[in-house]
Structure 1
Amino acid sequence: MKKQLRMTHQREVILDELRKCKTHPTADELYERVKKKLPRISLATVYRNLEVLSGEGLIRKLEISGRQKRYDWELQEHDHIYCIQCHRVENIDLKRDRGFEVLPENAKGYSVEGCRVEFFGLCPKCRQTNKMQKKGETTMGCKTCGTGTLSDKQREVLEALSKCNEPCGSKDIAASTSLEPKQVSCQITALKKKGYVASPARCKYEITEEGKKALA
């Protein structure tokens, strides 16, 4: 028989904070919330528990355009819309009864068990920010959307990642830059918030398409 998952205090807090999120947070974003209640918890522990909880079907793990994984407490089938500027992810109401049927002759031998529809565009805040910038008004942008410019250290980290053929860790990045591993980790955190770096695996990082554009 399948062993029943033990609901530890850490998992209860993680689930509680995830339920409070109006958007679909990354592990890093959720960690910032959780550590306010559990100061001694590590990012690795949050990652590990999210994987366990999603594996048990208690939460959903979202793969959005190859970016950093996000998590959703709502288990009922639904679809999402993604802002290409500030990277927020929200639910969208899609009339699924209209159907997405794949005929057997078009399924290439697959046994189709479900589908995932993803919409993308600009959220209202980003649209308003862009409109103000086009008018030439001075604006700092909203807290969610503002990305700012690259510092010298951030550019150095991005340039190192752009030369990697596969995701690499902080020590690997530090070895090819003038930065210490701790400094690299600090810059990685800032770059992830800007959407320039993704973490496809725990403690491994890669440059995103937005990151490549920032270097251009």
Structure 2
Amino acid sequence: MTNQREMILHELRRSRQHLSADELHERVKKLMPRISLATVYRNLETLSAAGIITKLEISGRQKRFDYDVREHDHVYCVRCHRVDNIELDRKQVEQERSMTTDGYRITGYRVEFFGICPACQKQRKKREEEEKMGKQAGDSQAISAEQKQILAALANAANPYGSKDISAATGLDTKVISGQITALKKQGLVDSPVRCKYAATEAGKKIIG
């Protein structure tokens, strides 16, 4: 166990993560500035061959190294490439290891899961909420002056309004009102709780304040 290997092993164990050679090199060179990536990789291979650490080869991705050498399985994030441990009941598989399949005698196995980690899920949810808010803001800006007049009249009305009622409140022509009502309904800002009469939805009320 050389000084370099001790330092690499210490950093891997301290991280408690599944790091690549590149990631370990970035950590180790802060303590040993002259150490090269090739040296880190060569020592990781040596430690892996000695059974002191485990080498992971996940879905053809960059090799990662695990400080935990006990038998266990992993889950891989397809977005940020994070790797975590996952606990499975291996008893059933262990009982079948001696079975022969298509001429093979099973001597070992590896289970690999992939998905989206909690941090990436949180980021995606935040991004979707921001996009939703942006869309709502865009919809608000797209409302014309005539549509705002109609929404204001409907929002202030005690009961649903017909086209003539809206015309009387806004001074707009009934033909114009009919076209604008159709557009507002498509945006979910107006509904028709009574046949041929209209009311502003909660979304419509929010737009006009």
CA deviation digits over 1:130-172, x for unaligned, max 9? 111112259xxxxxxxxxxxxxxxxxxxxxxxxxxxxxxxxxx
| Counterpart-to-counterpart distance in 1, 2:4 and 2:27 | 12
| Counterpart-to-counterpart distance in 1, 2:36 and 2:113 | 33
8 Å contact from structure 2 (residues 99, 106) kept in 1: no
| Counterpart-to-counterpart distance in 1, 2:53 and 2:105 | 24
1:89-168 map, 5 Å? 89-99=83-93, 101=96, 104-105=99-100, 107-136=101-130
| Counterpart-to-counterpart distance in 2, 1:37 and 1:87 | 26
8 Å contact from structure 2 (residues 75, 84) kept in 1: yes
| TM-score (ref. length: structure 1) | 0.57
Identify which of 26, 29, 41 aligns with 1:32: 26
Q: CA deviation at 1:63?
A: 0.6
Q: Describe the SS at the equivalent of 2:85.
A: strand
Identify which of 70, 76, 82 aligns with 1:82: 76
Q: Describe the SS at the equivalent of 1:135.
A: helix
1:2-21 map, 5 Å? 7-21=1-15
* Count of paired positions: 131
| Counterpart-to-counterpart distance in 2, 1:109 and 1:34 | 46
Q: Which residue of 1 aligns with 2:44?
A: 50
Q: CA deviation at 1:109?
A: 2.0
- Computing the radius of gyration over CA atoms, which structure comes out larger, 1 or 2? 2
4+ long deviations beyond 4 Å:
none
Q: Which is richer in helix?
A: 2
Amino acid in structure 2 at the alignment position of 1:63: E
User: Considering only aligned residues, what root-mean-square deviation do their CA atoms show, in Å?
Assistant: 1.7
| Counterpart-to-counterpart distance in 2, 1:109 and 1:102 | 13
| TM-score (ref. length: structure 2) | 0.59
CA deviation digits over 1:167-210, x for unaligned, max 9? xxxxxxxxxxxxxxxxxxxxxxxxxxxxxxxxxxxxxxxxxxxx
The percentage of counterpart residues that share the same residue type is 59
8 Å contact from structure 2 (residues 98, 107) kept in 1: no
Unpaired runs of 5+ residues, structure 1, are: 1-6, 139-216
Greater RCO structure (CA 8 Å; 6+ sep): 1
Unpaired runs of 5+ residues, structure 2, are: 133-209
Q: Which residue of 1 aligns with 2:63?
A: 69
